[in-house]
Structure formats: C-alpha cells, structure tokens
C-alpha cells in the first residue's frame, strides 16, 4: 500500500447496497438503519451517510459513538460532514456519527444490558443488545469498506492526549496511522471482541483516534481529529488538499498505567503531553483529613498520554497513562 496505484480499492461500477438501499456512484444518501426498539416501543435508528464519487476508489468508514458517552468523535464526524470533507474526489466515504444510540441518550459508555459494544464483536443476530449492535455493523457496513477510523475519547474522567492507535505489526494499519499524523502514535495490539479485531479478520484495516475525555467537548482534540482525517483521505487520493501537521507523531511502543497505592485525593503535578524523567514527581495523594501525603513518581522516562481528572481515587485506580518510545 506504499503507492496509491497499489492500494486495494472497491470498484464503483456496481451499485452499493446498505440496509437494502441502493447507492450509485456520484450519489449521497442518508440511511436510518433500524435495528431495535426501546421498552416504550420507540424505534431506534442508526444514521448512516454514504457519499460516493463517480470515480472509483477506496471505501473509508468514519465512525464515532461506539461508546455512547464519547462525544468528541461524534462532533468530529459532524464537522467533517458540515465542512464537506466527507465528499471524496474518488471512492466512497461512509459516515456513522453515532453508533451506540442507547449509550448516548443515557450518558453511558455501554448499552442498557451493561455490556461494552466494543467487546461484543462480531456479534450475533439474536444475542445480547450489545451483540446485536455489533452484528448490524459487521453485516451491513464492514463488508463494504477497505479502511476505517474509529473515533474515541478517554473514559471515566480520564483524558487522552490526541493520539492514533494501530497495530505496528500490520503494515497497512501503520501506514494509515502515519498518514493521519496525530501528535502521538501508539502501538496497540488487536483485542478479541473489538471492532478492529473483527474487521481485521475480514481483511479490513481500522485505526483508532482518541482525544479528550468522555462527556466533554475538547476543541483541540476535535480539530486534531478532523485534520488527521483529511491527511489520511489525501493519502488515499480521496481529497486534493490537506492541512499541514505541526510536528511528526511521537511514536509510542510501550505503555504503562500508574495506579494509586493509596485511597484519597490525587493532586497532579504534570499536564497531558508532558515529558517526564525517571523518578520525577508526577503528583501526590492526600487523605481528606490531612494525616498523610504520598508522592507518585515516574518509574521511567516517558510521555504523559493520559490523565485522570477525578481527584477522588481508590486504591488501584488509574492516575496517569505513560507512553514509552524506546
């Protein structure tokens, strides 16, 4: 995939069918894919926007809201559409701004049965609710794509520095991540039950973009996501122009969570994106009364790529996510 002429591409001489809806080359179609009902009998639809160029090319999926409370990705896909970047010069772009409708309306990462959709792939037609959401995506959309970007944020009050994640052992995914050119590029192995793992088994390459935290809009994370998507689309020949990257990605090969050894109040002494040295003080934990103060130190030289913004912590809670590039 190192040269545009060598990339696998879906030829667009045929009609594309999603949820029984035909989409011809040159057309833009919005589909409301119905797949479930609330207990009130209210129908639940997944909005899918398909934009096809007349010229053949790759098919790219832009998807957000797999976790319903991760709204930065939803805003990224919305703005991409609003600014017209979803309309490719060649190939097809499939936009799903919000997959997990259930989680979104309940301010939740999961669906009402408590399961994580991103651990429920490839899903089952008659399985749990999370499994059914995964099944619909795997059978109605994934067979048609070549590549994809799955937009996420940190969860549970944990903020992530803008970053792209891929499996460095997969050359196609690595090239997509390099083209995206986020501030940080992380090696992330495939996890069984995840969308990436299920798509990989079908020969599809999906990378993950993460930025900010759940239930919070973060303007920097949103803009980095939009710009990275445009760079990737330019690399695939789907757009004519791309924004410049302020700096090349910092490549992270290993990661380590620093966890609380004591319960109490965590006071961070570093910010997201900071470079820290081995033994450097990252913060400290105090109790509410004032009986103790325990410093948290870095076990090695690293970059702060994730930070817990909730100061109230229990033993074992994640405090900081460190990325190591050596």
Q: In this predicted model, what pLDDT tens digit does every residue of 216-256 receive, in sequence order?
A: 999 999 999 999 999 999 999 999 999 998 888 999 999 99
Q: Where are the beta strands (DSSP E) in 223-317?
A: 250-252, 254-259, 264-268, 275-276, 281-286, 293-297, 302-308, 312-313
User: With contact defined as beta carbons under 8 Å apart, do 160 and 211 qualify?
Assistant: yes
* pLDDT reading at 2 higher than 80: no
HEC readout, 220-242? HHHHHHHHHHHHHHHHCCCCCCC
Query: Looking at the structure, do residues 269 and 235 belong to the same domain, yes or no?
Result: no
Query: Cβ–Cβ contacts within 10 Å for residue 215, how many?
Result: 17
Query: Looking at the structure, do residues 136 and 183 belong to the same domain, yes or no?
Result: yes
State the alpha helices, DSSP H only, in the chain. 71-82, 101-105, 129-140, 171-180, 195-201, 219-235
Query: Looking at the structure, do residues 181 and 235 belong to the same domain, yes or no?
Result: yes
How many whole angstroms separate alpha carbon 48 and alpha carbon 117?
18
- pLDDT value, residue 13: 54
Domain assignment of residue 276, given as a range:
253-324
Query: Looking at the structure, do residues 179 and 268 belong to the same domain, yes or no?
Result: no
Query: Looking at the structure, do residues 312 and 206 belong to the same domain, yes or no?
Result: no
Query: Looking at the structure, do residues 213 and 155 belong to the same domain, yes or no?
Result: yes
Query: Looking at the structure, do residues 319 and 200 belong to the same domain, yes or no?
Result: no
**CA separation, residue 125 to residues 43, 56, 121, 128, 131 (Å):** 17, 32, 11, 9, 7
Q: Please state the pTM of the whole predicted model.
A: 0.93
State the alpha helices, DSSP H only, in 21-154. 71-82, 101-105, 129-140
Structural domains of the chain, count: 2
User: With contact defined as beta carbons under 8 Å apart, do 176 and 58 qualify?
Assistant: no
- pLDDT value, residue 106: 92
In this structure, the chain runs to a length of 326
pLDDT tens digits, one per residue of 35-80: 888 888 888 899 999 999 999 999 999 999 999 999 999 999 999 9
Mean pLDDT (whole number) for 281-299: 95
* pLDDT reading at 277 higher than 80: yes
């Amino acid at each position: 995939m190192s040269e545009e002429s060598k990339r696998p591409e879906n030829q667009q001489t045929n009609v594309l069918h999603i949820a029984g809806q035909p989409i011809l080359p040159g057309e833009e179609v919005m589909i409301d894919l119905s797949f479930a009902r609330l207990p009130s009998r209210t129908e639940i639809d997944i909005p899918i926007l398909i934009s096809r160029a007349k010229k053949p090319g790759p098919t790219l999926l832009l998807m957000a809201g797999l976790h319903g409370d991760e709204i930065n990705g939803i805003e990224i896909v919305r703005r991409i559409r609003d600014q017209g970047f979803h309309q490719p010069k060649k190939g097809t772009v499939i936009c799903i701004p919000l997959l997990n409708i259930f989680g979104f309306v309940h301010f939740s990462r999961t669906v009402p049965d408590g399961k994580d959709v991103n651990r429920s792939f490839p899903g089952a037609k008659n399985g749990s609710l999370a499994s059914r959401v995964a099944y619909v995506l795997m059978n109605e959309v994934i067979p048609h794509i070549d590549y994809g970007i799955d937009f996420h944020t940190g969860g549970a009050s944990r903020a992530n520095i803008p970053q792209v994640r891929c499996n460095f052992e997969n050359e196609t995914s690595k090239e997509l991540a390099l083209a995206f050119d986020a501030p940080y590029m992380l090696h992330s192995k495939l996890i069984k039950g995840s969308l990436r793992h299920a798509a990989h088994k079908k020969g599809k390459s999906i990378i993950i973009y993460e930025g900010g935290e759940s239930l919070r809009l973060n303007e920097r994370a949103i803009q980095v996501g939009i710009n990275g998507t445009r760079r990737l689309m330019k690399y695939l020949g789907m757009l004519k122009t791309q924004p410049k990257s302020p700096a090349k990605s910092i490549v992270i090969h290993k990661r380590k969570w620093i966890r609380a050894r004591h319960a109490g109040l965590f006071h961070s002494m570093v910010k997201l994106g900071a470079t820290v040295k081995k033994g450097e003080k990252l913060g400290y934990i105090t109790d509410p009364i004032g009986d103790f103060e325990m410093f948290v130190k870095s076990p090695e030289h690293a970059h702060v790529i994730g930070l817990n913004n909730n100061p109230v912590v229990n033993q074992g809670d994640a405090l900081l996510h460190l990325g190591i590039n050596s």
